[in-house]
Amino acid sequence: MKIVAIIPCRYGSKRFEGKPLMAILGKPMIQWVYEKAKQAAILTDVVIATDDERIYRCVQGFGGRVLMTAPTHRSGSDRAAEAAQALGLKDEDIVINIQGDQPAFDPRCLPEVVSPLLEDSHLVMSTLIYKISDPAEINDPNHVKCVFDKDHFALYFSRSTIPCSRDGAVSFDIFKHLGIYAYRKHFLDCFASLPQGRLEAIEKLEQLRAMDHGYRIKVVETRYDSKEVDTPADIGKLEMALRG
pLDDT at residue 15, as a whole number: 66
pLDDT at 150 over 70: yes
Mean pLDDT (whole number) for 145-170: 93
| Confidence label for 244 from pLDDT (cuts 50, 70 and 90) | low
| Predicted confidence (pLDDT) per residue in 95-144, tens digit | 999 998 899 999 999 999 999 999 999 999 999 999 999 999 999 999 99
pLDDT at residue 52, as a whole number: 94
pLDDT at 14 over 70: no
End-to-end CA distance of the chain: 36
Percentage of the chain lying above the pLDDT 70 cut: 97
pLDDT at residue 234, as a whole number: 79
Domain map of the chain by residue range?
Answer: 3-243
Which residues in 28-54 are b (16+ Cβ under 10 Å) and which e? bbbbbbbbbbeebebbeebbbbbbbee
Q: What is the enclosing helix (H) or strand (E) of 146?
A: strand 145-148
Question: CB-based burial of residue 162 (10 Å sphere; 0-12 exposed, 13-18 middle, 19+ buried)?
Answer: middle
Phi-psi region of 200 (alpha: psi -120 to 50; beta: other; left: phi over 0): alpha
Task: Let me know: does 65 contact 46? Beta carbons within 8 Å.
Answer: yes
Mean pLDDT (whole number) for 31-57: 97
pLDDT at 170 over 90: no
CA neighbours within 13 Å on the CB side: how many for 228? 19
Mean pLDDT (whole number) for 205-226: 97
Q: For all residues of the chain together, what is the average pLDDT?
A: 93
pLDDT at residue 232, as a whole number: 77
Return the CATH architecture of domain 3-243. Answer: Alpha-Beta Complex (3.90)
Angstrom CA distances, 49 to 35, 127, 146, 171, 214, stand at 15, 20, 27, 42, 28
CA dihedral 213, 97, 10, 100 (to 10 degrees): 130
- Residue 139 DSSP one-character state: T
